[in-house]
Amino acid sequence: IINIIIGGGIFVLPAIIAASLGAASIIAYLFCGFVMVLVMGCFAELGSVYTGTGGSYNYIVSSFGNYPGFLTAILIVMASFTGDAAVANAIVDILSTFLPVFKDFWAQSLFFILLFFGFGYINIIGLKKGVGFVKIITVLKLAPLLLIIIFGYTEVSISNLYWESTPSSAQIGEMSLILFFAFVGAEKGLSLSGEVKNPKKTIPKAIALSIIAILIIYILIQLISQGVLGDTLSNYDKNPLAQVANTMLGPVGFTIITFGAALSMIGSISSKILSMPRVVFAAAKDHVIPIKKLGTVHQKYATPYMAILLYVCLGFCFSIIGGFKELAIISSASTLLIYLGISFATIKLKTSKLKNTTDGFKVPGGYIIPIASVVVILWLLSKLSQEKIMMFIGVLLFLSIVFFSIKLFSKKN
């Protein structure tokens, strides 16, 4: 779970969160951790009952049917490619602090082309080549964060950590919506919870330990960044951790963290390009996504090349038209909508006969945790701008029209 969650966002988020919350930024981290505990409890209970593959999609289809399942499948893909586009923008922002050429639109565009279509090509010609790169990056991606933690604490000024004021709930909500981008993905680690031995003991322990470990890493990164840079942290929103390293180790530290962070974030994108097109492929084969071509494989390489091409094209297009913050919020909100469905599915499970047909994990407190999850997620989504709320309503309406039009057309045939 820890390896899945820690991705690219944490390398730039400390400065963004500090710009609004200052030294009180840890409140947003604790709140996001609390939300994840609620949601992961719901995932664990559903996973112990619905043991098939498909994760969120499987749980929601099993609970509510094909229409919510269709919306979930699209939202999963949408959250992923907008997340990749956000991280891609963060990479060019980081590199631009070392190589100013990356401030130019043409250089950014060329980088996005090489990034998305390069990994797309690797995954089309063979899964093993893509998996090999992802494994290497998985080992290395924690290195920049650990370097900051190990060497940074000696440079911390305690006076920089004092709260000048307590932020409002509105500020906490708005920043948590962005910060949540760094917490998503843990559900993939719980997708096999139905196969875990002694799930009643193992699952809650895994959730608790993983969320605690992630919170410790993230909060240490935030505290060290705030403690070293103080009020100037928000000035380095493109590459905050490299600036911390520059204070600690000079230009060598700046260079190491800059390229270490970029490499880690590239690895995060590569793993998504490797896995998410196969979700599109599977959904097309199951007729959830009504485009037959997306369910075909390459004649020579036997890979879902059309799904891969669609995914990298979407990732590239969104990376061109959006920035990190905007895309991270869209990705977070898409994920929160999925988590909302999971919370409702858990409530439904608790009211059904299925709740007594398995010895799997049951979230403690009865309805308290899934209901709390619904309330907290709705509160977070309410912090979206009116423009983004209307955008999501429009997307969901469009998808609904597509779904029911296809259903009507199929009946006529």
CATH number for the domain spanning 93: value is 1.20.1740.10
CA distance 412 to 123: 39
Element (H, E) at 116: helix 105-125
**Is 147 a domain residue?**
yes
**Is 413 a domain residue?**
no
Length reported for the chain: 413
**Is 412 a domain residue?**
no
**Is 71 a domain residue?**
yes
Q: What is the pTM of this model?
A: 0.90
**Is 410 a domain residue?**
no
CA distance 311 to 121: 12
pLDDT at 290: 73
**Is 85 a domain residue?**
yes
pLDDT at 182: 92
Burial of 336 (0-12, 13-18, 19+ CB in 10 A): buried
3-class DSSP assignment, residue 381? helix
Dig out the tokens for 409 from the structure: 């057309």
Nearest to 345 by CA among 187, 180, 205: 187
CA distance 113 to 25: 35
CA distance 10 to 357: 41
pLDDT at 201: 63
Residue ranges making up the domain that contains 7: 2-405
pLDDT at 185: 78
The alpha carbon of 241 is separated from its chain's Cα centroid by a whole number of angstroms, namely 20
Look up residue 234 and give its DSSP letter: G
User: With the C-alpha atoms ordered 76, 82, 85, 86, is the resulting torsion angle positive or negative?
Assistant: negative
CA distance 320 to 287: 30
Q: Based on the structure, what is the number of domains in the chain?
A: 1
Dig out the tokens for 142 from the structure: 């924690």
pLDDT at 392: 95
Q: 410 vs 72, 151, 313, 404, CA distance in Å?
A: 21, 62, 29, 10
pLDDT at 197: 62
pLDDT at 13: 94
**Is 126 a domain residue?**
yes
Please give the single-letter amino acid code of residue 197: K
pLDDT at 304: 87
pLDDT at 137: 66
**Is 375 a domain residue?**
yes
Per-residue pLDDT of the chain (413 residues; tens, 9 = 90+): 666 677 778 899 999 999 999 999 999 999 999 999 899 889 888 877 876 666 788 889 888 988 898 899 899 999 999 999 999 999 999 999 999 999 999 999 999 999 999 999 988 887 565 556 666 666 677 788 888 999 888 889 999 999 888 899 999 999 999 999 998 877 765 555 555 566 556 666 777 788 888 899 999 999 999 999 999 999 999 999 999 999 988 999 999 999 988 988 888 888 888 878 887 887 788 777 777 788 888 888 888 889 999 999 999 999 999 899 999 999 999 999 999 999 999 999 988 866 555 566 788 888 999 999 999 999 999 999 999 999 999 999 999 998 888 878 767 66
CA distance 38 to 34: 7
CA distance 332 to 341: 14
pLDDT at 24: 94
pLDDT at 9: 84
- Residue 287 in contact with residue 99, Cβ under 8 Å? no
